[in-house]
């Protein structure tokens, strides 16, 4: 999450971390929605979850908003999938690509 925000030039709002996280999650959800004739930017997204005891403790701290939870949330890993329109375009390109090695 930290890399995504840094890449977008977004500075975490440490004064109001719960509001900041809610705003980021709303923005991610908005990116999955079509706006008029514009396709979504993101198809779907999900957090990479580790089942180790250390990860479970971090999850609990984030969930309960314990001291330092924002930094733990920023360290979470996320995966993103392209929207269906992008997948369709790549499928089309693969079908139209000439065979290699002939």
| pLDDT per position as a tens digit, 28-38 | 999 999 999 99
pLDDT value, residue 19:
95
Assigned domain for 102 exists: no
pLDDT value, residue 102:
53
Assigned domain for 43 exists: yes
Over residues 16-33, the mean pLDDT reads 94
**H or E element in which residue 85 lies:** helix 84-96
pLDDT value, residue 11:
93
Residue 41 in tokens: 């930017």
Residue 83: CB atoms within 10 Å: 18
Assigned domain for 63 exists: yes
Q: How many domains does the chain have?
A: 1
pLDDT value, residue 72:
94
> Containing domain of residue 66, as a range?
2-96
Is the torsion defined by CA of 69, 70, 76, 82 positive or negative?
Answer: positive
Distance CA 76, CA 97 (A): 38
Over residues 90-94, the mean pLDDT reads 90
Assigned domain for 73 exists: yes
């Amino acid at each position: 999450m930290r890399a995504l925000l840094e890449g977008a030039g977004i500075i975490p709002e440490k004064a109001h971390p719960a509001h900041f996280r809610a705003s980021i999650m709303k923005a991610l959800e908005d990116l999955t929605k079509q706006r008029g004739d514009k396709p979504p930017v993101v198809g779907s997204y999900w957090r990479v979850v580790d089942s180790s005891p250390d990860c479970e403790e971090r999850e609990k701290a984030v969930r309960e908003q314990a001291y330092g939870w924002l930094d733990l949330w920023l360290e979470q890993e996320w995966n993103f999938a392209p929207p269906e329109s992008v997948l369709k375009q790549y499928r089309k390109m693969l079908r139209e690509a000439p065979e290699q090695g002939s």
